[in-house]
A and B are shown apart, each in its own frame.
Chain A
Amino acid sequence: KAGVTQTPRYLIKTRGQQVTLSCSPISGHRSVSWYQQTPGQGLQFLFEYFSETQRNKGNFPGRFSGRQFSNSRSEMNVSTLELGDSALYLCASSLDRRNSPLHFGNGTRLTVT
């Protein structure tokens, strides 16, 4: 079974631009969560989607948004990029919301210059 696939692996953007990251979950998984990983803040929860609806959201500004499609694939978007948005963005999928563990992709490394 294929794992969680995140594209692209690397991105370099300029301050003020926007970016869209993509995540394809494991087949059959309906929940997708996004995390931001930085050396200073560690792993911070961004949001979770289940059945195309955002079910939970972390403490990030409105510039961070996401969506989930009917095939469970998910995208996250960051608008008006800031230098501090440079991070590894990790997507994880799980069968459902409560009783199954998260399975992570290899992440998208975003660098904002």
Chain B
Amino acid sequence: GEDVEQSLFLSVREGDSSVINCTYTDSSSTYLYWYKQEPGAGLQLLTYIFSNMDMKQDQRLTVLLNKKDKHLSLRIADTQTGDSAIYFCAEWGLSYQKVTFGTGTKLQVIP
């Protein structure tokens, strides 16, 4: 079945780069997404990448996709305290025709 895995927790110092990793199993994935969730709020779309791309950069965010290993990463440059949140990766695949979310990675930014 479809499965998306993430590490549960990441702690970084303010100003450093953060790298959040994700692995997925559905080889028919066409779109892969990164969402951010702050306490008491819904999920905010950060960025997404089509499966025929290797990399996408959007200001402080860089997404890398290794389709062979089914590995997705989100790099946040110059991490700020306002980046503290839970980050979810998600994939939409032809097999299941729905968006499946990972378990979420809680990012803690230490001032």
**A41 → chain B, closest Cβ, in Å?**
10
Query: In the complex, A102→B98 CA distance in Å?
Result: 10
In contact, A107 and B98 (Cβ under 8 angstroms): no
In contact, B41 and A55 (Cβ under 8 angstroms): no
Query: In the complex, A97→B30 CA distance in Å?
Result: 12
Tally of contact residues, A, Cβ under 8 A: 23
With contacts A98-B30, A98-B92, A101-B31 taken as known, whether A56 is within 8 angstroms of B45 at the C-beta atoms is no
- Which chain B residues border A58 with CB–CB below 8 Å? 98
User: Which residues of B are interface residues toward A (Cβ below 8 A)?
Assistant: 30-31, 33, 35, 40-45, 48, 88, 90, 92, 96-104
Query: In the complex, A6→B33 CA distance in Å?
Result: 22
Query: In the complex, A106→B98 CA distance in Å?
Result: 20
The DSSP consensus for interface residues of chain A is strand
Residue of A nearest to B41 (CB): A106
- Which chain A residues border B42 with CB–CB below 8 Å? 4, 6, 90, 104-107
A62 sits at the interface (CB 8 A):
no
Instruction: Name B100's contact: one of A45, A48, A104, A106 (CB within 8 Å).
Output: A45
- Which chain B residues border A90 with CB–CB below 8 Å? 42-43
Residues 4-44 (chain A) with a chain B CB within 8 angstroms: 4, 6, 33, 35, 42-43
Instruction: Name A104's contact: one of B43, B48, B96 (CB within 8 Å).
Output: B43
Residue among B41, B42, B100 facing the most chain A CB atoms (10 A cut-off) = B42
- Which chain B residues border A92 with CB–CB below 8 Å? 43, 99
Give the top 6 A-B pairs by smallest Cβ distance, nearest first: A104-B42, A43-B101, A104-B43, A106-B42, A56-B98, A107-B42
**B92 → chain A, closest Cβ, in Å?**
7
Residue among A58, A101, A106, A107 facing the most chain B CB atoms (10 A cut-off) = A101
Query: In the complex, A103→B30 CA distance in Å?
Result: 18
- Which chain A residues border B100 with CB–CB below 8 Å? 45
In contact, B98 and A42 (Cβ under 8 angstroms): no
Instruction: Name A48's contact: one of B35, B98, B104 (CB within 8 Å).
Output: B98
Residue of B nearest to A6 (CB): B42
